[in-house]
Amino acid sequence: MAEAMQPDPARTQNPLTVSGLNAYYGRAQVLFDVAIEPVGGAVTALLGRNGAGKTTLLKSIAGAADVRKIGDIRLNGRPIYGLPAHKLAGHGVVLVPEDRRILGNLSVRGNLRLGRHAALRGKREPMTIDDVVELLPNIRPLLDRGGTRLSGGEQQMVAIGRALMGRPSLLLMDEPSTGLAPVVLDDLRAGILRLAEKLSMTILLSEQNSAFALGICAHVVIIDRGRIVFAGTRDEFVTDPELARKYLAV
């Protein structure tokens, strides 16, 4: 049974493998026979129009309770299909949701500390706040600020930092650029690149803002109407303008 899965110290080239994944909200099917393998230690951009199924795919991988799914999901070769979100977090699979979910009654420092539970649950050593600040230096002046006093960009950085506290092996990010000003996007882009480069972290990043995603990713997956229609390197994607015209143009 998937519940008995133990963390595997070996890292494979593609730590996450998804195959034959079908996902539903109630009786409405959203994903159709999806298969993806984000490359380990790199950023993979999941692109598609609004409503294409990007968020549903991330939530399916992360064990969200409101998605009913059928298929095979493996982490480092071991089945994780059917595990709830809190158990998956213990195994190193962490989702940064689009709505960020910062707790307003806690300081930034307090919000970050909440992320430790994922690592402790999986018997891993959590990151420290100093570790997170080194990777995301814009958080430092915010540490004692209340959660209600953060801008959208600051909330996004704190949400990422909270996820990092759990020392994830697979970081799922849902539309991190949403609502952010261009100058804030530059800081966010730099922060995500540091994660991939310094931690060799596997990141699957869902984005409607393809320009932002292409500035940080090494690989691209396109989803359209719940089906994967392209998977390849960033260079393969950008040298075929027909892909963007057909699947991303509004």
Ordered strands of the 227-233 beta sheet: 93-96, 170-174, 202-207, 43-47, 219-224, 227-233
List the CATH number of the domain containing 208. Answer: 3.40.50.300
3: in domain: no
pLDDT tens column, 140-170: 999 999 999 999 999 999 999 999 999 999 9
CA distance 25 to 3: 23
Q: How many beta carbons lie within 10 A of that of residue 4, not counting itself?
A: 7
2: in domain: no
Task: State the chain's mean pLDDT as an integer.
Answer: 91
pLDDT tops 90 at residue 13: no
84: in domain: yes
pLDDT tops 60 at residue 87: yes
- 84 three-class SS: coil
Domain encompassing residue 203: 13-247
| pTM of the predicted protein model | 0.90
Confidence of residue 38 (pLDDT cuts 50, 70, 90): very high
31: in domain: yes
219: in domain: yes
Q: How far is CA 130 from CA 22, 140, 230, 243, in A?
A: 40, 9, 39, 42
Q: Percent of the chain at pLDDT above 90?
A: 79
184: in domain: yes
Domain count, the chain: 1
CA distance 90 to 72: 19
6: in domain: no
206: in domain: yes
pLDDT tens column, 163-213: 999 999 999 999 999 888 888 888 899 989 888 888 888 999 999 999 999
Instruction: Say what the alpha-carbon torsion angle 179, 183, 188, 191 is, to the nearest 10 degrees.
Output: -170
pLDDT for the residue 12: 41
pLDDT tops 50 at residue 10: no
Q: How many beta carbons lie within 10 A of that of residue 133, not counting itself?
A: 17
pLDDT for the residue 182: 87
